[in-house]
Amino acid sequence: MSSKLLNSIFLWVDPEPFDIGILPHPVPVKLTHHNLRKLFAYAKNKGKSGYPRISYSVWKHVACNKLQIEEQLAWLYFHTCEILTERNQEHHMKNAESFNTKNTQQLESSKEKRSVDLLKFILYLFIQRANVISLKSALVTGDEYPSKQKSQDLDGRAGIGLKSLNEHAQMSFMASNMADILDLLVEPDTLSSDVNDMQLTRDAVSKLGFLIGATCDGRTVIPLDSAASTQNEFQKAGYSKIMQMFSCRRLQSWLKAHLKRNPFGTYSCLSLGQKLRGRGYSCGDDSFNTSLNLSFNDESSTSSSFTHTPTSTRNSSQNSSLQQYDWSHIQEQISRDIDLTASFKSSQPNMVNRILSNSNYAPECSKRIICNQVCHRTVARTGDILSHSMAKVHRCQHSHLFLLSSLRSVVIEKCHDTTIVLGSVDTLVVVIACEKIRIFAPCKRILIISCRKSSFNLCTPSRPVLLGKNEDITFTPYYTSYPGLINDMNACGIPPEPNLWNNPLCFGLSPGDEKEKKIWSECPPEQFFKFVIPFEIDGKCKECPVHLPEKYQDALRQRESRVEDWHTMVRDSGMKHDQRKRLQSLVNERFQEWLKESGNSSFLESLAPPVPPTPPR
């Protein structure tokens, strides 16, 4: 590959705002490009409360009184954008703690003081239309119209939100709407100065980096305005160093010329990512107990293994991977003119029971991990490879997944009969079309979309959101722990209090609606149990830092009391040794029967490490 191509600017659509930021909810009729332009002008005229950061009080007035948006939806848009754009975790921690009150006036006052970057918020509102089928997009990109994005799954329920997870759809949306997007960033008072070639400030172009990533070497992600103003690119991008302004027309041409498929996205991870070792339980760093230091390379065995990779070995393996997949190789892979969908479908049979990560070549801020079609496995992961990654769990079944590190975001899609234990999630957890799953998650917000017969054990400072056709959802307070939990929660800006686990927001229903009772319920105290991470992990945090409601504490105490009463009764029964032995045998038999009936026997068997293979003589 030529040095010219290696040193050129490479742009891609940032998947995060699309994957977890777009709400699968009908877009308000008045949330149009024209009205977003008027929002820019109105907010700027409001002074410090509207520009450069728009306060919630200003947005609430515009949304509810001008755009006829429900107040709950207006707040959801605002808060989701705040989660995605604000990286100061102390800011999130302070805002969450201000919600730790039952006084309605104090809550509203706290909301109205919060603010987000105005231009990023306008861009965020604009991309809500990405799920709307567009004839304009089909004409620009050459795609079939109408687009066939939705698929039927889980007894005919539509796969809501799948378009936002499609990298090709994201590129199509940006390419077909680039002129409108740049128009939204033009200062209101300069619109009439030169209609043929409007000007953009450098700050506005930097805010466009919320949707578009940039790099020139594949190792570091650079700000978009810096990429467009480099010595080799500033003339092509229409940048004037004297005026510190961009030509809108030339910038649009430059963006379209350099916009390519995401080099660190899902498709890239599936083709270039490293397969994480270990059939079953695998560990990424030295934080797990060294007694689990077993490793087997035989892929034919069906039993699970405990894999612990020493730091030095891991670093050397990563370095070799970086040499194998350097930037030139990634560019060659992306520049090939192939049908991505057909390529992905042809490789799906090889993707079963695969856990892949792009940490062998991606920058720290673009790390991604994919758990695809994990079946009848117990898998655990922690360490640097997982930390701050965007995780996607897809079509897993009859498995137990433990992702015990702080994560950037998590998308769980089309899974069933699976338990998923997550570390602290910096932004959102999005659960789509799942059935009979259990999720344990401390997160800033969770979206539950068209799920049924599932349990959510949560620690979240915001109300869980139920969208689509949900059924038989159970909410339970978060009550488990792993040694790094407190540090991860602090790093993600998630305080133990307040915890709004049992105050979901059901869109499409009024408060107190009878239909809401069929959608969700609290876990009955008699069915509540503490969930214990079944691995020995080194660390300081031994107890769950999240407060447990009194009724659940009472239930645990009563259960412990019954166990103590049983032991006392057996001890004071005066039974002989043979009688006690017989009783123990009966109890064990009944316990084994319960394990099989409940399905827990397969889980316990998956935790046991396999017998090491006999070395050849």
CATH code for position 361: 2.160.20.70
Looking at residue 298, its pLDDT comes to 31
Task: Record the pTM.
Answer: 0.85
Are residue 242 and residue 272 in the same domain, yes or no? no
Asked whether 140 and 93 are in contact (CB, 8 A), the reply is no
Are residue 426 and residue 469 in the same domain, yes or no? yes
Residue 121 CA from chain centroid, whole number: 19
Are residue 275 and residue 254 in the same domain, yes or no? no
Looking at residue 284, its pLDDT comes to 38
Tell me, yes or no, whether 114 lies in a domain: no
Tell me, yes or no, whether 520 lies in a domain: yes
What domain range includes position 229?
Answer: 167-258
Helix axes 167-176, 178-185, angle to 10 degrees: 60
Are residue 398 and residue 422 in the same domain, yes or no? yes
Are residue 354 and residue 232 in the same domain, yes or no? no
Looking at residue 182, its pLDDT comes to 96
Distance CA 322, CA 217 (A): 13
Distance CA 303, CA 536 (A): 20
Asked whether 394 and 372 are in contact (CB, 8 A), the reply is yes
The secondary structure of 282-299 as a DSSP string is EE-STTB-GGG------T
Are residue 542 and residue 595 in the same domain, yes or no? no
Tell me, yes or no, whether 247 lies in a domain: yes
Tell me, yes or no, whether 293 lies in a domain: no
Are residue 182 and residue 241 in the same domain, yes or no? yes
Distance CA 184, CA 194 (A): 15
Distance CA 63, CA 84 (A): 20
Tell me, yes or no, whether 378 lies in a domain: yes
Two structure tokens written together for 208 = 């466009």
Phi, psi of 432 (to 5 degrees): -125, 125
Are residue 461 and residue 599 in the same domain, yes or no? no
Looking at residue 567, its pLDDT comes to 86
Are residue 272 and residue 239 in the same domain, yes or no? no
Tell me, yes or no, whether 542 lies in a domain: yes
Asked whether 277 and 295 are in contact (CB, 8 A), the reply is yes
Looking at residue 336, its pLDDT comes to 63
How would you write 527-570 as a 3-class SS string? Answer: HCCCCCCCCCECCCCCCCCCCCCHHHHHHHHHHHHHHHHHHHHH
Are residue 504 and residue 593 in the same domain, yes or no? no
Are residue 356 and residue 441 in the same domain, yes or no? yes
Tell me, yes or no, whether 188 lies in a domain: yes
Count of other CB atoms within 10 angstroms of residue 518: 12
Measured over all CA atoms, what is the biggest interatomic distance in the chain, rounded to whole angstroms? 100
Residue closest to 210 by CA, chosen among 136, 132, 125: 125
Averages of pLDDT over runs of 10 residues in the chain (617 residues) are 61 95 93 96 94 96 96 96 90 81 80 94 96 55 45 38 62 94 90 70 96 90 95 94 94 95 89 71 36 29 33 40 60 61 50 85 93 90 90 94 95 96 96 97 96 97 94 96 91 93 86 76 94 79 89 93 87 86 90 83 68 57
Distance CA 201, CA 181 (A): 14
Residue closest to 212 by CA, chosen among 18, 19, 14: 14
| Structural domain total, the chain | 3
Tell me, yes or no, whether 63 lies in a domain: no
Looking at residue 204, its pLDDT comes to 97
Q: 56: which residues sit within 8 A by CB, 6+ positions away?
A: 75, 78, 111, 112, 113, 114, 115
Two structure tokens written together for 408 = 């950037």
Are residue 460 and residue 522 in the same domain, yes or no? yes
Q: How many CA atoms, within 13 angstroms, populate the side-chain half-sphere of residue 87?
A: 4
Distance CA 289, CA 268 (A): 33
